Structure 1
C-alpha cells in the first residue's frame, strides 16, 4: 500500500475534512474519512485575521497552533476507522487555513503550525503547498485542477469539475489532456456571511432561504460589475476581495430589497459567474460535476442548471465515485503523494507559474 492522508480546511471556515487514500499502482482508493468542525472561538479568530488587526502576528501564531490541534484530531478520527497505524502512513498533505491570499504582492498565507502537527500525529507532514507556485510567478491557486486531471480526467471527453466552497473554482479537463482552471468568484462565502448576519445560521441549508426570495436585478447587475469577473485567467481570489464590506457596498444602494431577496440574488450571482466561466472556457462540455459544500445546495444547483441550459447536465462527483465533501481533501492527499515522489503538483496553464514545480514543505515526524 501507498498511504497518504489529505487534510483540507477551506474559505468557509467550517472545519477540517480528512481522507486516508491508498495510491498503490497509480490508483486512488479512499479508505476512510472524517470531518472535525472548528470551535466557534477559533473560527471567529481566523475570520478576524482575514484583515489587518492589532497584535496579529502573535494571534496568528497562536491560531496556527490551534489549527494544528484540530488537524491532528481529524487524523486521529480518520485512522480510528481503520486498523492502520500512523507509522503505516507515508505522509500527510495539509492545506492549512488561508487567511491572506495576495499573489499580486508575491505571497499567500495558510495558517498552520506544520512542525506541531508532525509532533502531534507522528507522521511526516507536507504543508505550504501554494508558496512555491507563487514564488514562480503563479497565482498559487487553484491547485486542484492538476489533481482533478489525474483522478478524474477521461481521454476523448471534456469534463468540468466545479468546486463550490467559500470561493468557487472550475477545472476544465480537455479531451487531449490539456487542463485549464481558475477561481470564478464567490461560492458560499457571501451567502454564509449574509445568512449568519440575519438568521444566525452558518449556511443556507439546501438553499431553502434563497428559494423563498426573489432575485433583485439591479443588485445583481451591481455585483456583476466587479472587475474580477471580466478579468482573464490565470486568476484567483478569496476573502481579500469578497468580504462583508464588499457585500455591504452593493447592498446599501438597494435598501428596498428584503434580506431574503438579497440571499436569492447572492445565490444567483454564484450560479451566473460559474455558468459564464463554463460557457466561455468549456463550451463543448455536456456535464458539470459539482463538489464542495455548494454541491448540497439545491437552489444553487437549480439556478446553475438554468444558466447552463438543458444541453448541460449538472451532477455531483458522487457520479465519479467520490463524495463532494471529500474531493478537496483527496486532492491534498494527491499533492502529498506528488511531493513524496518529487513530482510537480502545479499546472502553469492554470496558475500562470513560470513552469512545473514540486510543491510543499516537509516537516518530518
Structure 2
C-alpha cells in the first residue's frame, strides 16, 4: 500500500518554498518512491526581507512570524491540493531556519505546524532537528538516511545549497556527512552588489580574476577537520565569508570569481580527504545551475578520481523536499532518521513534532 506525503522545504538561499507530492511504497526489503508533482513558490520581496531579518526580531515578533509563515505555507499547500487534485496522507514541513545553536542545545525553524495542519486539513510533521540537538547532536546532517536509501550506487552526495554539504563513504566503508562551507548564500550576496539576485550560470564569476590573497583567506576559514561531524548555521555564514567580503571593495566580478573558485577548492579538499576512490558523486541543489562552479568542481575532481554527476532537473530542484517527505514517512512509521555517529548525538534520533488535523 502506497503512502503519499507532501514534502516542503524553505532553504537558506531564500529562493522560495519548494513543495513536492511524493509517493512511498515498501515492497519486501525495497522502498519504491516517486516525486509525483512539484512546484516552487518564489518568495516576494516582503517574504524575503521578513525571513532574512527573522533572527533580529524580538521573541514576541518571532513567534508572530512563526504563525504568519505557517499560515502562508498552509495556504500555498492548500491551493496546490485544490488546483492539482493532490491526494496526500500528511504533510512534512522543514520550516525556515532562524537559529541553529546545537552547542547551546537548541535549533529554531519557523512555520507553525499547527497552522499548516489547520489550513490543509492534514496531519503535519515539523521540528525534525530538535530531538537530535536535545540528545547532544548537531541536528544535522539528516540527509544520509535518505541518500543511502533512495539513491544507491554512489560513493557520495553533494548538495550545493545556501550551504554546501556532503554525505560520503570512506575507504573503510564508513559513512560520513557534514556541512562543508558557504555556497549560494555568499554568491547571491555578492551578486546583489550588481543588482542581481544571483549570478546566472556563474557568468559574472567566469569573467572575474582570481584574487589569491582573498581566496586564501576564504579557504582558511573552512579547513577540513577529521573531527566530524560539523553543522553550519546561517549566522556563521554571515559572520565569516559574508562579513569578510562585505568589507572588500574589489570589483564584483573578481570577488565572485574568487569566491566561486574558493567554494570549489574547499569542497575538493574536504571530499578528497576522506572519500573512497574512485568515486561517483551525485550533485543536487541550486548550485548545480551554476555552470562555472560545476566546471571547476569537475576539473578538480579529475585529479582525485572523482566524478560529479547531475540528475534530472526534478531531483536537482526537489531532492530536499523529497528528503523532508521521507523523514515524515519515517516519523509516522516510528523509525529514526538521524544517525548518531554522523550528528554526534548520544543515540539515533527521529520523532518530529506531529500536529493532528481536526
Say yes or no: does 1:317 pair with 2:311. yes
Deviation of the 1:90 alpha carbon = 2.0
Say yes or no: does 1:39 pair with 2:35. no
Counterpart in the other structure of 1:185: 181
Counterpart in the other structure of 1:226: 221
Stretches of structure 2 that go unaligned for 5 or more consecutive residues are: none
For residues 186 and 199 of structure 1, what CA distance do their matches in structure 2 show?
A: 20
**Cα deviation per residue 1:106-144 (whole Å; 9 max; x = unaligned)?**
111101111011001111000000000001111001211
Stretches of structure 1 that go unaligned for 5 or more consecutive residues are: none
Deviation of the 1:248 alpha carbon = 3.8
Q: Is the 8 A contact 2:6 2:91 kept in 1?
A: yes
Q: How many residues align?
A: 351
Say yes or no: does 1:159 pair with 2:155. yes
For residues 284 and 97 of structure 1, what CA distance do their matches in structure 2 show?
A: 36
After superposition, where does 1:301-312 map in structure 2 within 5 Å?
301-309=294-302, 311-312=305-306
For residues 114 and 58 of structure 2, what CA distance do their matches in structure 1 show?
A: 20
Deviation of the 1:357 alpha carbon = 1.5
After superposition, where does 1:1-365 map in structure 2 within 5 Å?
1-25=2-26, 26-50=31-55, 53=56, 55-76=57-78, 78-80=80-82, 82-85=84-87, 89-154=88-153, 158-173=154-169, 178-196=174-192, 198-226=193-221, 229-230=224-225, 232-243=227-238, 246-249=241-244, 252=247, 255=249, 257-309=250-302, 311-318=305-312, 322-365=314-357
Query: Normalising to structure 1: TM-score of the pair?
Result: 0.90
* Structure 2 counterpart SS, 1:265: helix
For residues 136 and 178 of structure 1, what CA distance do their matches in structure 2 show?
A: 22
For residues 276 and 101 of structure 1, what CA distance do their matches in structure 2 show?
A: 25
The 3 A distance-change label for structure 1 pair 174 and 123 is farther
Q: Is the 8 A contact 1:345 1:356 kept in 2?
A: yes
Q: Is the 8 A contact 1:160 1:285 kept in 2?
A: no
* Structure 2 counterpart SS, 1:201: coil
Deviation of the 1:31 alpha carbon = 0.8
* Structure 2 counterpart SS, 1:240: helix
Give the RMSD, CA atoms, in angstroms.
2.1
Deviation of the 1:245 alpha carbon = 6.7
For residues 120 and 259 of structure 1, what CA distance do their matches in structure 2 show?
A: 44
For residues 179 and 78 of structure 1, what CA distance do their matches in structure 2 show?
A: 37
Deviation of the 1:41 alpha carbon = 1.2
Q: Is the 8 A contact 1:335 1:359 kept in 2?
A: no
Query: Normalising to structure 2: TM-score of the pair?
Result: 0.91
Q: Is the 8 A contact 1:185 1:229 kept in 2?
A: no
